[in-house]
Amino acid sequence: MLPFALNHMTAPNMAWQPFLDLAKGLGCVGIEFRNDLSAPLFGGADPVEVKAAVAARGLRFLALAEVKMFNDWSDTKQAEAEALMKIAVAAGAESVSLIPRNDGVAADRKDSFNVTQTALRALLPMLKAHGLKAMVEPLGFGVCSLRYKDVLAEVIHAVGGVGTYFMVHDTFHHALAGFGPIYPELTGIVHVSGVNDAIYLDDMRDPHRVLVGPDDVLGNVAQIRALRAAGYQGPISYEPFAPLVHGLADPAPALKASMEFIRQGVEA
């Protein structure tokens, strides 16, 4: 059985407890919560309450997102990261998510390496002090300051971060970045979403990201199959951004069908 998980972006309008019930009902191994939704993080609940609720349902709290623009490093960013790490520890999260600048600054490989190295070198002792891992997500958009996995792999090794820093393999962003090498040994989580529209990769944006099904043009099944064949056994977490998915009154049947489609495709 593939170890599926749910990112709260799958059902961003759902309160945190029903979201946990959704994940449990679908047989997921864990969840990811995030601080960039319209509602307050955990709906304002105490992180200790969240930790107990996740554990009571037999789930893992895989990651708490996010430190946005983490590689725009500053004292302010350090304080922001520290605050998120404290919440993550209290809530029982295994890791925090780090999202790079996505505004055209430091978009070439050399600058990408430099700004990312500065941030990850500074964050490393903070993460170790809190006993946390970090999930670093390259974004495939052309204006992103950390677009390519090979650059991130270089940085992780350069700062001595193996075992603390892990890559997010996002099937959408991996496609937008031109596919390229995968790093199963450095991959901590896989984010899945599909695109059904026959459009150029450069024109794809978050609202195109739906649940993975037969019309997917990103090759989700092939990407997951390749990762699994290369040794990755970790969680496969749903992260659709499309309004039509967010508008589902009950996303469970659609998610169940998508999970079965991926499962059959990977196992075929």
4-267 — its CATH code?
Answer: 3.20.20.150
Q: What letter does residue 40 receive in the DSSP assignment?
A: P
pLDDT at residue 251, as a whole number? 98
Rounded distance between C-alpha atoms, residue 187 and residue 62, angstroms? 13
Quick check: pTM over 0.75?
yes
Write the pLDDT tens digit of every residue in 152-211.
999 999 999 999 999 999 999 999 999 999 999 999 999 999 999 989 888 999 999 999
Burial of 193 (0-12, 13-18, 19+ CB in 10 A): buried
* Model confidence band, residue 130 (pLDDT cutoffs 50, 70, 90): very high
Domain ranges in the chain?
Answer: 4-267
Write the pLDDT tens digit of every residue in 50-109.
999 999 999 999 999 999 999 999 999 999 999 999 999 999 999 999 999 999 888 899
CA 87 to the chain's CA centroid: 18
Query: Helix (H, G, I), strand (E, B), or coil: what is residue 166?
Result: strand
Rounded distance between C-alpha atoms, residue 217 and residue 194, angstroms? 7
pLDDT above 90: residue 147: yes
